[in-house]
């Protein structure tokens, strides 16, 4: 039975993210000062810094404008360039340039920092319950009324990991959750699960600015504690504002959630490389706590999200193959929805069901050490360690950029290891992985991109051959589970045939056409090898290919 935890703080008005929102103006003012101090520590020449920022922003506006961009952007940055030049004629150019830098920082922080409305959150709870019931629950399932009750949806959200410890740590310090990122659904899916199943207050989280292009989505995200992330902006001032938003929120006790991979996984593979900038902000926040005489600890919890389907998978894998295949890859343009595909989608909404897994890794401190229920940290040898010692030199607390970059790298490595260990392997993952490799073994003598470019070809696998190989894969995975190297789903792993049936029923539902289909001749058909490759990628990096004696592909 899927355990549902009671809420540790039922009143949304008392949550840290709500308190931050009530003091938004004061928070932005403090954040501005924090960003300014960080930037001026690393940049002596403010003139060059502003000049570079204005140039990069003008290029972005020209090359990649979005509907959601402020209407005055072009004029604003033109005025910034003019004001910057005028500072050279002033009596104290440095002061004038610092004032101009503060002006830019404030504009960015006003853009990034979001709001949290308890009233909107309560409405979102009800709306998302209806929305997710449509995606994960079947209409008129046996013994259910229509799409079922909220409790039926909660049972579709499978929670794995030491949730009790995470809930205990929430009351002892500030918790930062670092999820994997596969879909645009991730932020709201994780937020909903944390609230309804795990019983924790809402987290501040990053949301891509592209989501704000849809007005109704923007309305809710703006009021649900999200801070805006514009991945087009690569200038140093904006990047420091974004990094500081996370770090300073944590300093002020706001529990945060951000995706350390930076963006959705285009390949479908679990992240094995992370952006260390945001991770380093958590380490900086822990040091600043100690320097301010506060022993409050920050705890990091990796989270691996597992879906049987990703709605935008076709778009994501197309981008990935284009990036790795370059001129070898033949990109195909989608014809868009047709009456037939729309009707199929509506039918699937009513007849299909699925689940999502939220697999929480073991909580750790900001150095990657394990922690116990009292919040104490222990190294890999079982010795208790103290955060103060990591930041001290000759008994004195002090910042050290090089030292903290090493800590960020170590924490990142521990998070990646946790992603791999707590990746919940689903029936659809096993089906896609096995089927793709059986097809590849048949075509391994031709170039990989040549194989993947055969968009009109129907690839055939004999079902008995698929079942035989699936049975072997299952045995390898179960051995890995016994050694606590992987996590498996709640499906029937003792019966590979039943596991395959479950995989066929759930793999990539809601796509225009089935990723894999069993025909009347007891053969498995694949009409979209790119999508099969996407879902197969969830099980790469476990060495299963070598265990099966299969050849591996090369781009």
The SS3 call for residue 16 is helix
The tens place of each residue's pLDDT in the chain, 555 residues long, gives 678 999 999 999 999 999 999 999 999 999 999 999 999 998 889 999 999 999 999 999 999 998 889 999 999 999 999 999 999 999 899 999 999 999 999 999 999 999 999 999 999 999 999 999 989 998 877 766 677 889 999 999 999 999 999 999 998 999 999 999 999 899 999 999 999 999 999 999 988 887 787 777 788 888 998 999 998 999 999 999 999 999 999 999 999 999 999 889 999 999 999 988 889 999 999 999 999 988 899 999 999 999 999 999 999 999 999 999 888 898 876 656 777 777 777 888 888 899 999 999 999 999 999 999 999 999 999 999 999 999 998 888 989 989 999 999 999 999 999 999 999 999 999 999 999 999 999 988 889 999 999 988 999 999 999 999 999 999 999 999 999 999 999 999 999 999 999 999 999 999 988 999 999 999 999 999 999 999 999 999 899 999 999 988 887
Burial class (CB in 10 A: 0-12, 13-18, 19+), 68: middle
* Distance in angstroms (rounded) separating the CA atoms of residues 180 and 354: 19
Q: How many CB atoms lie within 10 A of CB 64?
A: 9
Q: What is the pLDDT of residue 336?
A: 64
The sign one gets for the Cα dihedral 348, 351, 357, 358 is positive
- Any idea what the Cα angle at residue 471 is, between residues 512 and 359, rounded to 5°? 65
* Distance in angstroms (rounded) separating the CA atoms of residues 489 and 3: 15
Backbone angles phi, psi at 525, to 5 degrees: -105, 140
pTM given for the model: 0.92
The structure tokens listed for 184 are 């645009």
Alpha-helix runs per DSSP H in 64-162: 73-87, 93-112, 118-136, 150-156
Q: What is the pLDDT of residue 532?
A: 97
Give, in order, the Cα–Cα distances in Å from 462 to each of 173, 498, 522, 538.
55, 17, 7, 23
Q: What is the pLDDT of residue 88?
A: 92
The sign one gets for the Cα dihedral 153, 223, 182, 345 is positive
Length, in residues, of the chain = 555
Nearest to 423 by CA among 480, 471, 373: 480
Q: What is the pLDDT of residue 171?
A: 87
Are the C-beta atoms of 234 and 49 separated by less than 8 Å? no
Q: What is the pLDDT of residue 335?
A: 58
Q: What is the pLDDT of residue 394?
A: 83
What residues have CB less than 8 Å from 395, skipping those under 6 apart?
Answer: none
Domains of the chain: residue spans and CATH: 1-114+159-309+356-421 (3.40.1130), 424-548 (no CATH)
Q: What is the pLDDT of residue 294?
A: 86
* Distance in angstroms (rounded) separating the CA atoms of residues 339 and 342: 5
């Amino acid at each position: 039975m899927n355990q549902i935890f009671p809420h540790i703080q039922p009143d949304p008005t008392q949550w840290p993210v709500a308190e931050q929102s009530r003091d938004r103006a004061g928070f932005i003012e403090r954040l501005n000062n924090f960003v300014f101090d960080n930037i001026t520590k690393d940049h002596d020449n403010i003139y060059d810094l502003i000049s570079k920022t204005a140039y990069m922003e003008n290029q972005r506006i020209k090359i990649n404008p979005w509907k959601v961009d402020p209407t005055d952007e072009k004029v604003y940055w033109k005025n910034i360039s003019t004001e910057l030049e005028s500072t050279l004629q002033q009596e104290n150019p440095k002061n004038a340039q610092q004032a101009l830098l503060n002006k830019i920082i404030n504009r960015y922080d006003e853009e990034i920092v979001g709001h949290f409305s308890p009233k909107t959150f309560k409405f979102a709870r009800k709306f998302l319950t209806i929305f997710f019931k449509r995606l994960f629950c079947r209409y008129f399932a046996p013994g259910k009324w229509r799409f079922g009750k909220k409790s039926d949806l909660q049972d579709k959200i499978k929670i794995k990991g030491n949730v009790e410890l995470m809930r205990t740590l929430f009351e002892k310090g500030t918790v930062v959750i670092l999820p994997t990122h596969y879909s645009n659904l991730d932020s709201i899916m994780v937020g909903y699960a944390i609230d309804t199943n795990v019983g924790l207050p809402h987290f501040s989280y990053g949301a891509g600015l592209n989501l704000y292009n849809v007005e109704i989505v923007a309305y809710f995200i703006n009021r649900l504690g999200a801070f805006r992330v514009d991945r087009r902006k690569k200038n140093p001032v904006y990047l420091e504002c974004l990094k500081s938003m996370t770090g300073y929120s944590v300093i002020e006790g706001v529990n945060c959630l951000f995706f350390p991979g930076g963006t959705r996984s285009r390949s479908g593979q679990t992240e094995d490389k992370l952006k260390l900038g945001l991770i380093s902000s958590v380490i900086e926040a822990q040091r600043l706590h100690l320097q301010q005489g506060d022993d409050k600890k920050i705890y990091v919890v990796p989270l691996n999200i597992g879906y049987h389907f990703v709605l935008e998978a076709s778009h994501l894998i197309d981008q990935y193959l284009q990036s790795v295949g370059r001129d070898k890859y033949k990109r195909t343009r989608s014809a868009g929805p047709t009456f037939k595909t729309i009707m199929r989608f509506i039918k699937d909404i009513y007849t299909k069901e699925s689940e999502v897994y939220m697999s929480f890794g073991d909580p750790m401190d900001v150095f990657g050490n394990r922690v116990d229920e009292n919040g104490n940290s222990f190294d890999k040898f079982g010795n208790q360690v103290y955060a103060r010692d990591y930041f001290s030199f000759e008994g004195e607390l002090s910042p050290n950029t090089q030292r903290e970059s090493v800590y960020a790298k170590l924490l990142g490595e521990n998070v990646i290891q946790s992603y791999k260990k707590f990746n919940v392997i689903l029936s659809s993952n096993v089906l896609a992985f096995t089927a793709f490799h059986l097809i590849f073994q048949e075509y391994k003598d031709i170039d990989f991109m040549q194989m993947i470019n055969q968009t009109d070809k129907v690839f055939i696998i004999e079902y008995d051959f698929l079942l035989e190989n699936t049975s072997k894969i299952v045995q390898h995975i179960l051995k890995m589970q016994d050694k606590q190297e992987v996590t498996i789903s709640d499906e029937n792993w003792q019966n590979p045939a039943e596991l395959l049936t479950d995989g066929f029923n759930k793999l990539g539902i809601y796509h225009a056409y089935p990723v894999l289909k069993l025909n009347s001749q007891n053969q498995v058909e694949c009409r979209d090898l790119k999508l099969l490759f996407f879902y197969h990628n969830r099980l790469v990096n476990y060495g299963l290919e070598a265990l099966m004696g299969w050849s591996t592909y090369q781009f």
